[in-house]
Amino acid sequence: MNIYFCGAISAGRELLPAYRMIVNTLKEYGTVLTEHVADPNLTAGGEKNQSNREIFDRDLAWLKKADCLIAEVTTPSLGVGYEIAVGVRRNIPVHAFFQKKDSRRLSALVSGNPGVTLHTYTESDELVPLVRSIMERNFPKSQP
Protein backbone atom coordinates (compact mmCIF):
# COMPACT_ATOMS: atom_id res chain seq x y z
CA MET A 1 0.00 0.00 0.00
CA ASN A 2 1.25 3.48 -0.86
CA ILE A 3 0.55 5.99 1.89
CA TYR A 4 0.80 9.76 1.43
CA PHE A 5 1.46 11.51 4.74
CA CYS A 6 1.23 15.27 5.02
CA GLY A 7 2.02 17.71 7.78
CA ALA A 8 3.13 21.32 7.94
CA ILE A 9 6.60 22.17 6.71
CA SER A 10 6.75 25.89 5.87
CA ALA A 11 3.99 26.71 8.37
CA GLY A 12 6.07 25.37 11.26
CA ARG A 13 7.70 22.19 12.53
CA GLU A 14 6.43 22.24 16.12
CA LEU A 15 4.64 18.91 15.66
CA LEU A 16 7.65 17.07 14.22
CA PRO A 17 7.61 14.51 17.08
CA ALA A 18 3.97 13.73 16.24
CA TYR A 19 4.82 13.43 12.53
CA ARG A 20 7.60 10.98 13.37
CA MET A 21 5.25 8.85 15.50
CA ILE A 22 2.63 8.79 12.74
CA VAL A 23 5.09 7.99 9.94
CA ASN A 24 6.84 5.26 11.93
CA THR A 25 3.48 3.65 12.62
CA LEU A 26 2.29 4.00 9.01
CA LYS A 27 5.42 2.19 7.82
CA GLU A 28 4.01 -0.95 9.46
CA TYR A 29 1.19 -0.86 6.88
CA GLY A 30 2.94 0.08 3.66
CA THR A 31 5.28 2.49 1.91
CA VAL A 32 5.12 6.06 3.17
CA LEU A 33 5.80 8.03 -0.01
CA THR A 34 6.44 11.25 1.93
CA GLU A 35 8.54 9.94 4.78
CA HIS A 36 10.74 13.05 4.49
CA VAL A 37 7.98 15.16 6.10
CA ALA A 38 8.98 13.56 9.42
CA ASP A 39 12.71 14.11 8.88
CA PRO A 40 14.16 16.19 11.73
CA ASN A 41 16.65 17.73 9.27
CA LEU A 42 13.80 19.24 7.23
CA THR A 43 13.17 22.72 8.62
CA ALA A 44 10.44 25.28 8.02
CA GLY A 45 12.77 26.58 5.30
CA GLY A 46 11.69 23.61 3.21
CA GLU A 47 13.64 21.50 0.77
CA LYS A 48 16.69 23.27 -0.60
CA ASN A 49 17.80 20.83 -3.30
CA GLN A 50 14.71 21.12 -5.51
CA SER A 51 12.81 23.98 -7.08
CA ASN A 52 9.23 24.70 -6.07
CA ARG A 53 8.08 23.30 -9.43
CA GLU A 54 10.05 20.10 -8.94
CA ILE A 55 8.54 19.64 -5.47
CA PHE A 56 5.04 20.31 -6.83
CA ASP A 57 5.46 17.82 -9.70
CA ARG A 58 6.99 15.17 -7.42
CA ASP A 59 4.29 15.52 -4.76
CA LEU A 60 1.47 15.37 -7.30
CA ALA A 61 3.02 12.22 -8.79
CA TRP A 62 3.11 10.70 -5.30
CA LEU A 63 -0.51 11.74 -4.71
CA LYS A 64 -1.47 9.92 -7.93
CA LYS A 65 0.26 6.75 -6.64
CA ALA A 66 -1.24 6.97 -3.16
CA ASP A 67 -3.84 4.49 -1.95
CA CYS A 68 -4.69 6.69 1.02
CA LEU A 69 -3.77 10.06 2.52
CA ILE A 70 -3.03 10.61 6.19
CA ALA A 71 -2.70 14.22 7.38
CA GLU A 72 -1.77 15.89 10.65
CA VAL A 73 -3.79 19.12 10.44
CA THR A 74 -3.20 20.81 13.80
CA THR A 75 -0.77 23.37 12.35
CA PRO A 76 -2.65 25.31 9.66
CA SER A 77 -0.89 24.80 6.32
CA LEU A 78 -1.87 25.81 2.80
CA GLY A 79 0.13 22.90 1.41
CA VAL A 80 -1.59 20.33 3.60
CA GLY A 81 -4.98 21.77 2.66
CA TYR A 82 -4.08 21.48 -1.01
CA GLU A 83 -2.90 17.90 -0.59
CA ILE A 84 -6.10 16.98 1.23
CA ALA A 85 -8.17 18.52 -1.58
CA VAL A 86 -6.28 16.45 -4.16
CA GLY A 87 -6.83 13.29 -2.11
CA VAL A 88 -10.55 14.01 -1.77
CA ARG A 89 -10.83 14.78 -5.48
CA ARG A 90 -9.07 11.48 -6.29
CA ASN A 91 -11.62 9.75 -4.05
CA ILE A 92 -8.97 7.99 -1.96
CA PRO A 93 -9.47 7.56 1.79
CA VAL A 94 -8.36 10.71 3.61
CA HIS A 95 -7.81 10.61 7.38
CA ALA A 96 -6.90 13.78 9.27
CA PHE A 97 -5.55 14.03 12.82
CA PHE A 98 -6.20 17.16 14.87
CA GLN A 99 -4.83 17.83 18.34
CA LYS A 100 -7.59 19.40 20.45
CA LYS A 101 -5.80 21.76 22.77
CA ASP A 102 -6.38 25.27 24.00
CA SER A 103 -8.65 27.27 21.72
CA ARG A 104 -7.30 25.97 18.40
CA ARG A 105 -9.90 25.65 15.73
CA LEU A 106 -9.74 23.55 12.60
CA SER A 107 -10.92 24.99 9.29
CA ALA A 108 -14.45 23.94 8.38
CA LEU A 109 -13.12 23.09 4.92
CA VAL A 110 -11.39 20.14 6.57
CA SER A 111 -13.67 19.35 9.53
CA GLY A 112 -16.86 19.74 7.50
CA ASN A 113 -15.60 17.93 4.40
CA PRO A 114 -17.48 14.66 3.84
CA GLY A 115 -14.41 13.29 2.04
CA VAL A 116 -12.24 13.62 5.15
CA THR A 117 -12.46 11.36 8.19
CA LEU A 118 -11.37 13.46 11.16
CA HIS A 119 -9.74 11.99 14.26
CA THR A 120 -9.01 14.12 17.32
CA TYR A 121 -6.48 13.53 20.05
CA THR A 122 -5.34 15.47 23.10
CA GLU A 123 -1.86 14.16 23.89
CA SER A 124 0.73 12.82 21.48
CA ASP A 125 0.93 9.49 23.32
CA GLU A 126 -2.56 8.78 21.94
CA LEU A 127 -1.31 8.88 18.35
CA VAL A 128 0.28 5.46 17.88
CA PRO A 129 -2.71 3.45 19.16
CA LEU A 130 -5.09 5.76 17.27
CA VAL A 131 -3.20 5.41 13.98
CA ARG A 132 -2.92 1.63 14.40
CA SER A 133 -6.63 1.34 15.13
CA ILE A 134 -7.57 3.35 12.05
CA MET A 135 -5.16 1.50 9.79
CA GLU A 136 -6.23 -1.93 11.07
CA ARG A 137 -9.89 -1.06 10.64
CA ASN A 138 -9.53 0.44 7.16
CA PHE A 139 -6.35 -1.06 5.67
CA PRO A 140 -5.45 -4.33 7.40
CA LYS A 141 -1.88 -5.55 6.96
CA SER A 142 -1.49 -8.05 4.13
CA GLN A 143 -0.87 -11.58 5.24
CA PRO A 144 2.39 -13.17 3.96
Residues 23-55: tens digit of each pLDDT: 999 999 999 999 988 877 776 677 778 899 999
pLDDT value at residue 101 = 84
Q: List, for the chain, all residue ranges whose pLDDT scores fall below the cut of 50.
A: 143-144
CATH 3.40.50.450 is right for the domain spanning 2-138 = yes
What pLDDT does 142 receive? Answer: 60
State residue 81's pLDDT score: 97
Q: Under 8 Å CB-to-CB from 116, ≥6 apart: which residues?
A: 84, 88, 94, 95, 96, 110
User: What does pTM read for this prediction?
Assistant: 0.92
80-119 b/e (C-beta count within 10 Å ≥ 16 → b): bbebbbbbbeeebbbbbbbbeeeeeebeeebeebeebebb
Residue 4 · residue 26 · CB < 8 Å? no
Q: What is the pLDDT of residue 7?
A: 94
Q: Where are the domains of the chain?
A: 2-138
pLDDT at 103: 79
Residues with Cβ < 8 Å from 136, sequence gap 6 or more? none
Task: For residue 50, count other CB atoms closer than 10 A to its CB.
Answer: 12
Q: What is the DSSP letter of 74?
A: S
Q: Determine the Cα–Cα distance for residues 124 and 140; give it in Å rounded to an integer.
A: 23
Looking at residue 144, what is its pLDDT? 46
Instruction: Give me the phi and psi of 41, to 5 degrees please.
Output: -80, -15
